[in-house]
Amino acid sequence: MLRLIVILPIALFAGLIGVMVSLLTDEDRNSDLSRLPSPLIGKPAPAFKLPAVANSVPGGFSTEDLKGRVSIVNVFASWCVPCLAEHPMISQLAGQGVAVYGINHRDKPEAATAWLQRHGNPYIAVGADWNARASLDWGVTGVPETFIIDADGVVTYKHVGPVTKDVLRNKILPRLRKTEVR
């Protein structure tokens, strides 16, 4: 009995350590932040209406703009280094005829305008979300984040983090095709 009292806590502790190590080393589970669950998937895009970033940037858009065709909503900021890294991929999508909209997250209008002028503006429209209220409604936890919206205005996919060539090829484009077929 005394032996059991000593061995049982040690065995339970060793088992707990084993479970924790397996969870931390599971590459599939920890390597893809876009697998974070989103309560918006399968639901209509949140109701919002954002003003233009500035007069020189086409913009201001709302939930209504996301109906009638498959589209992408990209949440970005001029101060976001990963946003700059993904910008060529977002521009590539727009160049392929995909309707791409931008939500400019917690940015200064002059900084956002300068950034878009310097790096190019692939967006049909850019809405200014200075206080991050719309971003919160979208469930944004940080920038960049990218959403695919079907023609009915329903969110079909959310990607957390920058859109890289690999993400574009293996996640975004296949999901866009799947969304367009629906």
Give me the pLDDT at residue 59, please: 79
- Percentage of the chain with pLDDT > 90? 73
- Please tell me which residue, 54 or 145, carries the higher pLDDT value: 145
Give me the pLDDT at residue 10, please: 76
Write out the E strands in 43-179: 49-50, 61-62, 71-76, 99-105, 125-129, 145-149, 155-160
**Residue 18 pLDDT exceeds 70:** no
Cβ-contact 70, 64 below 8 angstroms: no
Question: Which region among 7-11, 27-31, 80-84, 145-149 has the lowest average model confidence (pLDDT)?
Answer: 27-31
**What is the pTM assigned to this prediction?**
0.80
**Residue 53 pLDDT exceeds 50:** yes
Give me the pLDDT at residue 76, please: 98
Q: Read off the pLDDT of each residue in 130-151 and give the average, rounded to a whole number.
A: 96
End-to-end Cα distance, the chain: 64
pLDDT tens, residue by residue, 61-95: 999 999 999 999 999 999 999 999 999 999 999 99
Nearest partner of 71 among 140, 145, 155, judged by Cα: 155
Q: Is the dihedral of CA 15, 18, 24, 25 positive or negative?
A: negative
